[in-house]
Structures are given as structure tokens and as C-alpha cells.
């Protein structure tokens, strides 16, 4: 199993986790995360969240660390803004750019009432392979962005749940199943976390039969933990674990609000 499985998993599942700085009315917070593979550091992420009335903005950076930084330095920036709704945080604008070695990519998406009205990616993926599953207009209706899509209002059900995600290229469902609670402690938080199992269901915008996508689709042992921010009554991820043949990829909050 190649390392790209871990990278794909982090990109598709933990991008949302990186946005989980605690929210409070007209206040700003910083949240930090560590990403590792089999205990070895892969990357660090820092995110800043600001809330003004019912509107939110999240901006963040990610930088590779450890051996990954030696062989192929990776960095990324992301930003999302939108409105806090009853059941979800609904994005209006989402952007992401990254560079790994000599390669880079930038994605911009505009949403309106949960529907995608514009999406662009630079450089474009051309030519598309024959086994590419295209994204249709129907796939871009009633979707969430990959950053704030996993922040769940306190009165909504955390899991079981199905989250329809569109990240500017791929459309996927993240299916959450209930697995109880576990204690979690980090800077700014100590208490019980809701534990959910994760199922990754690709819908469109991917190469059918691709090894890493098929691996994630079949995987039934992924977990995500949600902690509650009492300040604004929302649940947000603090821990993700994704098994791979090279060892588990873990994303853990080293600071959660505070």
C-alpha cells in the first residue's frame, strides 16, 4: 500500500477536522493539529476561526513535518466563509491551494443555499482518464464543503448521519455510525467525545478502480471523535484514525479553542 493512501485519506476526511476551532459570538480562536503515520509526524496544521453573529470565517495553513518535509516539502492554505444554519454550517465561498515539491493546485468553489454555483481547479486535470466518474449538476446539489461540513450544531444528531461533501473536484458521502463515547483531553478541552465510525462512499469526480479510493471505500475501521464547544453549542472533530498497511494515519487536536 503506497503512502498516497494516507495522503488521500487525510485530504478527504481530515480537512474538515482542521477547521474545528471553537466558535463564540464575535470572538476568534486558534486551533492546532498534529498529523502522523504510525506515530511518525507527517504534518502540522493551524486554523483560525472568527464568528460574527451568524456568519463564520475559517482560515488555515498546513505544513509537512518530519521525514516527509525532508523528501517532499508540502504546504497548503485554505479558507471558507458562510452562514451558521440549524443543521449545518453552510458555506458561501471555499478555497484551497497546496504545493508539494514542484506540483501545486488551487481550488475555488462558490455555494448558494447548499448548491454549487461555480467551481474551478487550476491546473485542470487533463486529459481525463477513461475510467473517470464525471461530476454532474445533480451531484452538486445540497452539498457541504469539506472544511466546515463536519461542524455539527449541538441540537443536531452527530451520528448516525450522512454528510454529502463536494471539495471542488470530488463528490463523496461521509457516513457516520454511532460507536459510543471516549474521554479526550487536549489544551482547551477535557471531557467526553462522541465516537463515530466512518464509511467513505465516493460518488463522482474520481478514477473508478483507483487503488487508494477503493481501499478507503472498503475500509470499515475508520473513526472520528467529536467534542462539544459549550460556548456556541456545536460538535467538532478532535481526532481521526485511518488504518493503512503502513500503519494508522491519525489527526489529533493539540489545542481545541481556549
Q: What is the tens place of the pLDDT at every residue in 44-56?
A: 998 887 878 888 8
Give the three cell numbers for residue 4: 498516497
Give the three cell numbers for residue 54: 451568524
pLDDT of residue 14: 45
Least confident of 11-25, 134-148, 187-201, 221-235: 11-25
* Domains, the chain, ordered by start: 4-255 (2.40.360)
pLDDT (tens digit per residue) in 2-43? 444 444 444 444 444 444 444 444 667 677 899 998 888 888
Sign of the alpha-carbon torsion through 65, 22, 82, 138: positive
Give the contacts of 230 (CB within 8 A, at least 6 positions apart).
none
Phi, psi of 40 (to 5 degrees): -95, 135
pLDDT of residue 53: 82
Give the three cell numbers for residue 165: 461533501
Strands 249-255 and 234-242, how do they pair? antiparallel
| Percent of the chain's residues with pLDDT above 90 | 55
Q: pTM for the full model?
A: 0.84
Amino acid at each position: 500500500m503506497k503512502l498516497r493512501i494516507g495522503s488521500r485519506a487525510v485530504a478527504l476526511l481530515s480537512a474538515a477536522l482542521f477547521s474545528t476551532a471553537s466558535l463564540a459570538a464575535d470572538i476568534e480562536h486558534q486551533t492546532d493539529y498534529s498529523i502522523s503515520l504510525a506515530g511518525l509526524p507527517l504534518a502540522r496544521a493551524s486554523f483560525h476561526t472568527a464568528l460574527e453573529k451568524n456568519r463564520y470565517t475559517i482560515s488555515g495553513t498546513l505544513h509537512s513535518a518530519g521525514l516527509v518535509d525532508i523528501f517532499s516539502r508540502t504546504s497548503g492554505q485554505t479558507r471558507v466563509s458562510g452562514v451558521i444554519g440549524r443543521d449545518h454550517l453552510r458555506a458561501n465561498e471555499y478555497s484551497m491551494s497546496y504545493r508539494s515539491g514542484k506540483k501545486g493546485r488551487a481550488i475555488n468553489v462558490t455555494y448558494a443555499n447548499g448548491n454549487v454555483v461555480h467551481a474551478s481547479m487550476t491546473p485542470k486535470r487533463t486529459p481525463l482518464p477513461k475510467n473517470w466518474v464525471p461530476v454532474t449538476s445533480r451531484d452538486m446539489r445540497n452539498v457541504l464543503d469539506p472544511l466546515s461540513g463536519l461542524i455539527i450544531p449541538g441540537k443536531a444528531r452527530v451520528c448516525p448521519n450522512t454528510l454529502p461533501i463536494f471539495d471542488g473536484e470530488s463528490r463523496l458521502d461521509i457516513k457516520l455510525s454511532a460507536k459510543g463515547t471516549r474521554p479526550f483531553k487536549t489544551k482547551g478541552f477535557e471531557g467526553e467525545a462522541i465516537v463515530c465510525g466512518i464509511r467513505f462512499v465516493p460518488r463522482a469526480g474520481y478514477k473508478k478502480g483507483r487503488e487508494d479510493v477503493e481501499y478507503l471505500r472498503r475500509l470499515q475501521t475508520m473513526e472520528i471523535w467529536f467534542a462539544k464547544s459549550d460556548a456556541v453549542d456545536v460538535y467538532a472533530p478532535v481526532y481521526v484514525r485511518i488504518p493503512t498497511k503502513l500503519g494508522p494515519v491519525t489527526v489529533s487536536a493539540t489545542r481545541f479553542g481556549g
